[in-house]
Chain A
Amino acid sequence: MARWGMVIDLDRCTGCAACEVACKSENNVAAVSVEQADMGRASSWMKVMAHVEGEFPDTTMHFYPRPCMHCDNPPCIRVCPVQATYIDDEGIVGQIYARCIGCRYCANACPYMVKYFNWYGPEWSEAERQHLNPDVSVRPAGVIEKCTFCHHRLQKAREDARAEGRELREEDYQPACVDVCPTNAIIFGDLDNPSHAVHTLKDDPRVLRLMEDLGTQPKVYYLRPRD
């Protein structure tokens, strides 16, 4: 059984945010109105965060693309009263929208703040509906949504592999953010498969996981910048 994980090289990330926009496009993440954005209600399953240190002229800045960490011990699933959020056999933390009752316990339990609540239904105009991805649902008001590691791509990739009568290859399943990154800063694969790049990278001396001390066991690893 695969255990999907991600490694993000902070030395390579230029903070261009292609991952962020690709994610929104792939997963039908609707933009919210200006007023809602002002209230901090914009959703961005993948969000490029800037980390600034020091004063001018000794400033340094790094960018942390922040998807869902897909924790092996996810705090969000323990608080869900209806089992709408759960971790599957391959380590992907899913959110079943049709089951979600919108209590937002999980959003509050998540230390990484990567669960987003739909305060209102998505505003897609007639024209914009043309570009919605038919592989991903359009979430209604009142449910939590989150990064799925583009799980629908895994299913497609498995189907293709099966149709062609071969094993799933590393490059077959890559989330949208990984696909688009112009500097290849995001690497994705099966953490338990020795032939996948992430398998070796996760043991790199530069590795860092966010808030590891909470015991969440995140499967998104960062390679901290070299000095």
Chain B
Amino acid sequence: MGGTAADRGGFVRVRWVSGSFGVILVAGIVITVLVTARPSVPQPVAFNHRKHTEELGLNCEFCHVHVTKGAHAGLPDAQTCTMCHQAAQGTSAEATRVTTLLAEGDPLTFKKLFRLEPHVFYTHRRHVGIAELECENCHGAIAQTVRPPARPLVTIDMDFCMDCHREQGQTLDCNACHR
């Protein structure tokens, strides 16, 4: 093939090469971004954290019941929402929708937003129940959001964990989190 390529004009050849290179580069970036970014997490209702925490004064544990005892904090389900929303609450359209959904028997399955790799062994009991860390240390201003965020507000990677562990003089042993 080397011989036939030499017959083509120099200009054409350069344009071809630079063109294809550009396409590849863009495709590579797009693919990388698409793959590494987490897909947005759809929730059954547009839950307003700020309304519940700041305005109504509910604490996090009210809905995330296992936050001090369990490995995972737990998510509210229809039963939790029913406590207040069985009867119509407030004026917002979304609150009305919740009451309707509950009446229809919708299970209101909320989805996990913050995810860790399965080889990371994290427990809320250790960090919240015992070490008494604040939720915003890892979850950022989630309590201030007015609609469900599509992506985690904080990127929780190993550096994130290690920085805090170093600052707080906590264990840096691999076994402590990976096993």
**Chain A residues packing against B (C-beta within 8 Å):** 86, 88-89, 92, 94, 96-99, 134-137, 148, 151-152, 155, 159, 162-163
Contact = CB atoms under 8 A, between A and B. Distances in A.
B40 to A, nearest CB: 27
A94 B175 contact: yes
Contacts of B71: 134
B175 A151 contact: yes
Contacts, number: 45
B43 to A, nearest CB: 25
B157 interface: no
A159 B179 contact: no
Contact of B117 (A86, A98, A151, A155): A98
A86 B179 contact: no
Interface of B: 71, 117-119, 121, 123, 125-126, 129-130, 173-176, 178-179
A94 B174 contact: yes
Given A86-B174, A88-B175, A94-B175, A137 B126 contact: no
Contacts of A163: 129-130
Nearest to A92: B175
A136 B119 CA distance: 9
Nearest to A83: B174
B72 to A, nearest CB: 10
SS of A interface (majority): loop
A136 B179 contact: yes
A157 to B, nearest CB: 12
Contacts of B125: 159
B178 A97 contact: yes
A173 to B, nearest CB: 14
Given A98-B117, A159-B123, 8 more contacts: A89-B173, A94-B174, A97-B179, A135-B179, A151-B179, A159-B125, A159-B126, A163-B129
Nearest to A27: B179
A155 to B, nearest CB: 7
A86 B176 CA distance: 13
Nearest to B71: A134
Given A94-B174, A151-B175, A135 B121 contact: yes
A140 B169 CA distance: 32
A99 B175 CA distance: 12
B23 to A, nearest CB: 34
A4 to B, nearest CB: 12
B159 to A, nearest CB: 15
Contacts of B118: 137
Contacts of B126: 155, 159
Given A89-B173, A96-B174, A137 B179 contact: yes
Contact of A159 (B117, B119, B121, B130): B130
Name the residue in A88, A98, A135, A163 with the highest tally of chain B Cβ atoms < 10 Å from its Cβ: A98
Contacts of B121: 135, 137, 152
A97 B117 CA distance: 13
30 contacts: A86-B174, A88-B173, A88-B174, A88-B175, A92-B175, A94-B175, A96-B174, A96-B175, A97-B119, A97-B179, A98-B119, A98-B178, A99-B174, A99-B178, A134-B71, A135-B179, A137-B118, A137-B119, A137-B121, A137-B178, A148-B175, A148-B179, A151-B179, A152-B179, A155-B126, A159-B123, A159-B126, A159-B130, A162-B130, A163-B129
